[in-house]
Amino acid sequence: MARIELQGLSKSYGATSVVHGIDLVIEDGEFVVFVGPSGCGKSTTLRMIAGLEDITDGTLLIGGEVVNQREPKQRNIAMVFQNYAIYPHMTVGQNIGFGLYTSKISKAEKQKRIAETGKILGLENLLDRRPAALSGGQRQRVAIGRAMVRDPVAFLFDEPLSNLDAQLRSQMRMEIKSLHHRLGTTIVYVTHDQIEAMTMADKIVVMREGNILQVGTPTDLYENPVDVFTARFIGSPSMNMLDGTLSGGALAIEGASVSGLSLPAHEGPVRLGIRPHDLVVGEGAGAGLVTTSTVEAVEPLGAETLVHVRLGDALVVATAPGRIVPAIGSTVSISAAPGAFYLFDAASEKALGRA
């Protein structure tokens, strides 16, 4: 087990800087999820922690010791990739045991560790099978088993579930989470998937263009996003954004009337965020945002219905109860109560506050 600390960690390829001096503390036993758009430096950061990539500048500490110059195997960190390479000609047991191939442990001890790992992952009856005779989820568990068998101080996962179908993904999500609960080992996990981030993380790290934008619990990020990017990334469906203007303590939005909000002190163009779950199809209490709008598209999902309407120039989505399925082209009332609004400066996209 280990605390991992990144101090001013940077990576450049030649003259191109791709990670620009990031600071982060990953506590012992914590489940930390990195999110951010493609190319923002998530994998590079993970690879620097693992020792698969040289650190250009800054300091990496594992368990209080500087490890910048240590070889990957001396760091005792296990990495599970998206394209987990399990060997087709080896059995499940041999694949798991492959994680031990360099360690000088007895054959009996090796068999014991393979059996224990197989048991933890529910593979104990499959140890003699070959990967071709396994399901996608079982194969993923073999890859995790190979990482686990060495008893590493931390696991690094780089989009481990992105090749699996939606149902298996949600099952494996819970399996990895429960594994973390049982083992208590530090996990650093990279994903594009905001649902994975929200459901698995103790702490989410939002990266963009080689920098850390925000660090917080899933609830912190959901309630208090620092900018439009985090606001739209966290939560599903994404937060709606409307253009508006704050002037003399009043908020003007095209296509809707707004009243009764305690607004942040700011003058000028703003972006107004409203989560789909806070946008009500039907009359509200009167205060907040009120308008009527034409239904452009409807997605009935069973438990709830996503209703897409136009507000001024923007297409927004509201989440209605499943029994409400308005006709396309019909006119509906749309409202959002005070407390549901996130305000951002239009130019910098930085948060101004809630209203």
Measured from the Cβ of residue 102, the count of other Cβ atoms closer than 10 Å reads 8
Among 2, 4, 35, 41, binds ligand ATP (CB under 6 A): 41
User: Segment 48-107, which members bind ligand ATP (CB under 6 A)?
Assistant: none
Q: Which of 10, 43, 117, 319 binds Mg ion (CB under 5 A)?
A: 43
CA 303, 309, 315, 316 dihedral sign is: negative
Q: Output the CA torsion 212→216→222→225 (10° steps).
A: -40
Q: Does 13 bind ligand ATP (CB under 6 A)?
A: yes
With b for 16 or more beta-carbon neighbours within 10 A and e for fewer, the 103-139 pattern comes to eeeeeeebeebbebbbebbebeebbeebbeebeebbb
Residue from the set 42, 141, 173, 203 that interacts with ligand ATP by CB under 6 A = 42
Shortest Å distance, C-beta 16 to ligand ATP: 6
Considering only 10, 44, 117, 194, the residue that binds ligand ATP (CB under 6 A) is 44
> Is residue 39 close enough to count as binding ligand ATP by CB under 6 A?
yes
What is the rounded distance in angstroms from the CA atom of residue 85 to the CA atom of residue 89? Answer: 12
Stretch of 41-49, 121-129, 162-170, 264-272 lying at the interface with Mg ion (CB under 5 A): 41-49
Residues in the interface with ligand ATP (CB under 6 A) total: 11
Residue 39, contacted partner among ligand ATP, Mg ion, none, CB below 5-8 A by kind: ligand ATP
* Contact (Cβ atoms closer than 8 angstroms) between residue 223 and residue 52: no
Ramachandran angles phi, psi of 80, nearest 5°? -120, 125
Q: Is 22 in the site for ligand ATP (CB under 6 A)?
A: no
The distance of closest approach from Cβ of residue 15 to ligand ATP in the complex, given in angstroms and rounded to an integer, is 10
**15 touches ligand ATP by CB under 6 A:** no
H/E segment holding residue 278: none
Query: In the numeric block, which tokens belong to residue 229?
Result: 């990017």
What are the residues binding ligand ATP (CB under 6 A)?
Answer: 13, 18, 36, 38-44, 192
What are the residues binding Mg ion (CB under 5 A)?
Answer: 43
